[in-house]
């Protein structure tokens, strides 16, 4: 067996196509955001009120658009740059990013905000309202202003109570402060008209004027985005020119894709990984269109496998599967507990106007999905309460599968 030193040495010296792979991770925020300059400009126009006179009003902006259109990246890029700019002018403005699929009730959102700000505020046993009051006091004491982005706010809106929604979305109608230290960027998937109804009921129509829509990317736009990443992530000349073009064509909104930049970057990443592996085996020296094809074919294949199996299932078994996929997608975890699946299942049934199956039946449906090899389960000892079941899924990309599942569900319901 080789010595540990040798193992490490050979891994470090291994030839690779990547200079910096982390540039291709979904959470990486690039220095430039091609084709989102106008969006940044529009957000800045709303925040002019802040730079003119910090604290006079609470600025609120809504970013809305489909998956992977740069909403999160734009909010973060704007928030960081604008806070730096204000700090240079002697105004203590801080940027905080909260993802509502992880913190989805007011108390945990306020806790997240104060943690990110590093404020020494005790939170044990405090209600959301009490925490907000404490937070405002601290901000006053530090003479600090904040931009809070509430990302994927649809999760919060769906799961919170009317009073919770009121507290968060009409913050300064609840807390009548003279100096408005909190500013909000709300981010949500969907279409401006879809979000209108939801927001209207909570905030009145006023907020609708502050909506900035994000459009799916065209192939040409995706080429610019991908080219930037290629330059930062790979050694020069390692990625064939046609690679970027073919990925852009696969994913571009105008060329039959869904205009999702995350997906485009993920394909580039996977193609790079595949080439990297082949490079180590001496089978290639660069990233080619063949690598792109292989990656896309693999992704489709596992998807086709799953879909092939689910067409034969009864509607409620598919709804349970959707609940599993949706819950995994929302939480970003690899396994989720049964309770979460049932909650999500009921939510889906309610949306569709379907009568949900009883608890034991849902459990049996999950076990059937397992028997068919569509999902995997594991059990864990949960203190005195005995064993509990966790469910995971590995075969296909979740967002793609969700889209397909929705289509199958629609068809099944029509065929009844
Ligand atoms: N204009 C752009 N320039 C460079 N990279 C971009 C651009 N738009 C999006 N990206 C990248 O694409 C990925 C997806 O973008 P982002 O997460 O901002 O999308 P989103 O609209 O928030 O999607 P979702 O609705 O799924 O949350 C990220 O890695 C982001 O850095
Ligand atoms: Mg996002």
Render pLDDT for 35-56 as a digit per residue (tens, 0 to 9).
999 999 999 999 999 999 999 9
Ligand 1 centroid, distance to 31 Cα (angstroms): 13
Instruction: Please check whether residues 342 and 206 belong to one and the same domain.
Output: no
| Mean pLDDT over the full length of the chain | 89
Nearest CA to ligand 1 atom 3: 33
Query: How far apart are alpha carbons 171 and 184 in whole angstroms?
Result: 10
Q: What is the pLDDT of residues 4-26, one digit of tens each?
A: 888 888 777 778 999 999 999 88
Using the predicted structure, report yes or no on whether residue 291 has a pLDDT greater than 90.
yes
**Is residue 286 in some structural domain?**
yes
CATH number at residue 282: 1.10.8.60
**CA 368 → CA 262, 327, 358, 380, distances in Å?**
33, 18, 15, 20
Q: Which of 61, 56, 44 has the alpha carbon at shortest distance from 206?
A: 61
pLDDT at 1: 61
pLDDT at 308: 74
Q: Are strands 387-392 and 376-381 parallel, antiparallel or unpaired?
A: antiparallel
- Percent of the chain residues past pLDDT 70, beyond the cut: 94
CATH number at residue 50: 3.40.50.300
Using the predicted structure, report yes or no on whether residue 405 has a pLDDT greater than 90.
no
Of residues 230 and 308, the one with the higher pLDDT is: 230
Q: What is the pLDDT of residues 163-190, one digit of tens each?
A: 888 888 889 988 998 999 999 999 998 8
**Is residue 96 in some structural domain?**
yes
Q: How far apart, in Å, do the first and last CA atoms of the chain sit?
A: 63
Pocket test residue of 216, 228, 262, 264 for ligand 1, highest count of atoms within 8 A of CB: 262
- Percent of the chain residues past pLDDT 90, beyond the cut: 56
Q: Does residue 266 have its Cβ closer than 6 Å to ligand 1? A: no
- Average pLDDT value for residue range 236-262: 92
Q: What is the pLDDT of residues 334-363, one digit of tens each?
A: 889 999 999 999 999 999 999 999 999 999
Per mean pLDDT, which range of 79-93, 120-134, 244-258 is the poorest? 120-134
Instruction: Please check whether residues 43 and 148 belong to one and the same domain.
Output: yes
Instruction: Please check whether residues 209 and 329 belong to one and the same domain.
Output: no
Per mean pLDDT, which range of 43-52, 146-155, 271-280, 404-413 is the poorest? 404-413
Nearest CA to ligand 1 atom 7: 70
Q: Does residue 67 have its Cβ closer than 6 Å to ligand 1? A: yes
Q: Tell me which residue has tokens 């599968």.
A: 401
Instruction: Please check whether residues 152 and 84 belong to one and the same domain.
Output: yes
**In the β-sheet with 336-337, what is the strand arrangement from edge to edge?**
336-337, 387-392, 376-381
Q: Where are the alpha helices (DSSP H) in 57-127?
A: 71-88, 106-117
Instruction: Please check whether residues 202 and 318 belong to one and the same domain.
Output: no
- Average pLDDT value for residue range 398-406: 82
If one counts every other C-beta atom within 10 angstroms of the C-beta of residue 381, the result is 9
CATH number at residue 381: 1.10.10.10
If one counts every other C-beta atom within 10 angstroms of the C-beta of residue 296, the result is 17
């Amino acid at each position: 067996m080789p010595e540990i030193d040798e193992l490490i040495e050979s891994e470090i010296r291994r030839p690779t196509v990547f200079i910096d792979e982390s540039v291709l991770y979904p959470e990486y925020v690039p220095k430039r955001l091609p084709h989102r300059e106008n969006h940044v400009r529009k957000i800045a126009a709303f925040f002019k009120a802040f730079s003119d006179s910090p604290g006079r009003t609470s600025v609120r902006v809504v970013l809305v658009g489909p998956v992977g259109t740069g909403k999160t990246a734009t909010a973060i890029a704007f928030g960081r740059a604008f806070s730096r700019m204000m700090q240079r002018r002697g105004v203590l403005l801080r940027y905080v990013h909260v993802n509502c699929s992880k913190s989805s009730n007011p108390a945990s959102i306020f806790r997240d905000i104060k943690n990110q700000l590093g404020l020494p505020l005790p939170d044990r046993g405090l209600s959301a309202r009490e925490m907000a009051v404490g937070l405002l006091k601290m901000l006053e004491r530090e003479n600090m202003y904040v931009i809070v982005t509430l990302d994927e706010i649809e999760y919060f809106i769906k799961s919170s109570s009317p009073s919770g929604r009121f507290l968060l979305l009409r913050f300064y109608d609840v807390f009548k402060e003279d100096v408005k230290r909190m500013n909000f960027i709300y981010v949500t998937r969907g279409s401006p008209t879809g979000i209108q109804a939801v927001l209207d009921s909570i905030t009145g129509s006023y907020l609708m004027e502050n909506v900035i829509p994000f459009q799916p990317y065209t192939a040409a736009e995706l080429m610019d985005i991908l080219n930037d990443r290629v330059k930062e992530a790979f050694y020069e000349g390692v990625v064939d020119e046609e690679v970027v073009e073919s990925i852009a064509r696969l994913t571009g909104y105008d060329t039959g894709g869904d205009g999702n930049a995350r997906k485009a970057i993920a394909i580039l990443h996977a193609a790079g990984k595949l080439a990297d592996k082949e490079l180590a085996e001496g089978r290639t020296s660069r990233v080619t269109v063949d690598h792109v094809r292989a990656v896309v074919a693999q992704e489709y294949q596992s998807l086709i496998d799953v879909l092939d199996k689910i067409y034969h299932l009864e509607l409620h078994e598919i709804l349970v599967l959707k609940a599993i996929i949706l819950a995994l997608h929302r939480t970003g975890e690899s396994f989720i507990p049964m309770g979460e699946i049932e909650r999500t299942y009921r939510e889906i049934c309610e949306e569709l106007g379907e009568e949900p199956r009883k608890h034991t039946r849902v459990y049996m449906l999950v076990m059937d999905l397992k028997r068919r090899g569509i999902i995997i389960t594991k059990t864990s000892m949960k203190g005195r309460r005995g064993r509990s079941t966790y469910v995971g899924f590995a075969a296909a990309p979740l967002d793609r599968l969700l889209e397909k599942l929705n289509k199958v569900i629609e068809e099944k319901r029509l065929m009844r």
